[in-house]
Amino acid sequence: MVADLAAGRPIEEAFRTGVAAGSAAVSRPGTELCSEADVQRLLPQVQIKEIAAA
């Protein structure tokens, strides 16, 4: 997420990358790190939807 923001990408894109990276990380056993390929595979599945304020 920070890398995307530092590269000047929109906050929505950075958030999607962060969610994909977090999801990829918890899909690995123990403390094993995820790979860029894992993140890229999950990225299309991450959707951002606006919700109405209550």
DSSP string, the chain: -HHHHHTT--HHHHHHHHHHHHHHHHTSSTTPPP-HHHHHHHGGG---------
> Whole domain around residue 33: which residue ranges?
2-45
Q: How confident is the model at residue 53 (pLDDT cuts 50, 70, 90)?
A: confident
Q: Is residue 33 part of a domain?
A: yes
Six token digits for residue 10: 């929109």
- Mean pLDDT, residues 24-48: 93
Percent above pLDDT 70 for the chain: 100
Using left for φ > 0, alpha for ψ between -120 and 50, and beta otherwise, residue 39 falls in alpha
- Mean pLDDT, residues 30-49: 93
Number of structural domains found in the chain: 1
Q: Is residue 37 part of a domain?
A: yes
Whether 54 shows a pLDDT value over 80: the answer reads: no
Q: Is residue 52 part of a domain?
A: no
Q: Is residue 54 part of a domain?
A: no
pTM of the model as a whole: 0.83
Q: Is residue 18 part of a domain?
A: yes
Q: Is residue 51 part of a domain?
A: no
